[in-house]
Structure formats: C-alpha cells, structure tokens
Amino acid sequence: MKKILFIAIALFLCAHCMAQEQLAFPFQGGKEVMTRFFKDSLVVSPAIVQKKAAGLAIFKFTADEKGAIRKIIIYYADDLLLTQPIIEALKKSNYKWIIPDHEKFHDFILPFTIGFNSPAVGNAALQKAVYNFYTHRKPVLTYNQVPLDMATLLPTVVVNYDLVP
C-alpha cells in the first residue's frame, strides 16, 4: 500500500513539474525571438552615441487580449535620454504579446540595459565622456507606489552599440 501511495505521489509531482515547463512565453516565438526583436527594433539615437550614454531602464506595459500595447509606464531609467528608443521599440511590438489564461489585460515588466561596446584601447576622452554622462544624468524615478497587480517579469534585454570614432 505504501509503495502504491509513493508511486502515485511521485507521478503527481512529475506531472506537476511537466505542466510548469509547458507554460508559453508571452512573446510570439519565445524568449530568443523577443530578445532578437528588441535588439533589431531598438534604434540607438545619435544623441545616445554622442553622450556615450549607458544604463538601465525598467518599463511596465499593459497588453490586451489581442496582444496590443495599451499603456507604457517608466518605472526607472538611468536617464530620460535612454527611454525614447525603448518606447519606440515597445510600440513596434504591438500584437506580438500572448496574454495568459484569456485575460482582458495583462501587465508585463521589461528591463532594458543599454551600453556601448568598449574599444580595444581606452582613451582619456572616452573616459571623460562616460564620466560626464554619469555625473550629469537625470534619472527617472517613481516616487509614488506603483501597484504591480499580476505582472509578469520578463528577462532583461541587453543592447550594445558601437562608438563612432
């Protein structure tokens, strides 16, 4: 009797673990397709390259049952300069989101990291430009509590750009 109970529990746990693995990623095509989409769609502006800007931006957005983006909120950004290309890329992702359990709306949290590819040989001008950006940056902060409700945290999208010599 104990063996049968043990086998039944083991089968139940295996079935439960298999069900957890089969959850669909909320972007059409999966995680790799989402990462490639944002790397291709995010156009780094000349102002970002000129200022040697780098940093983190965290966005919360709401998608409806058709996958259309309804609302975009900036939770945090190291500088306002980094947010505009990300907002444009998010707008391009309309109708690519998969909403779980046939909800009318679902919230997603998507972090972005933007940086530049370091040159093989550093120089003082580059160090000064990076330091100037860092000391003069104007972070975008959320001062009021922002309700998360039922939000899905997505993996960070890392975008690196090349410096123009």
**What pLDDT sits at residue 159?**
94
Q: Which pLDDT score is estimated for 42?
A: 95
Question: How confident is the model at residue 14, as a pLDDT?
Answer: 62
Q: Does domain 25-161 have CATH number 3.30.70?
A: no
- pLDDT score recorded for residue 158: 93
> Which pLDDT score, from 0 to 100, does residue 11 have?
61
pLDDT, residue 23, reads: 59
CA 113, CA 82: separation in Å to the nearest integer? 9
* pLDDT score recorded for residue 2: 56
For residue 143, what pLDDT is reported?
75
46, amino acid identity: P
For the chain, residues with pLDDT lower than 70 are 1-23, 144-149, 165
Domain ranges for the chain: 25-161
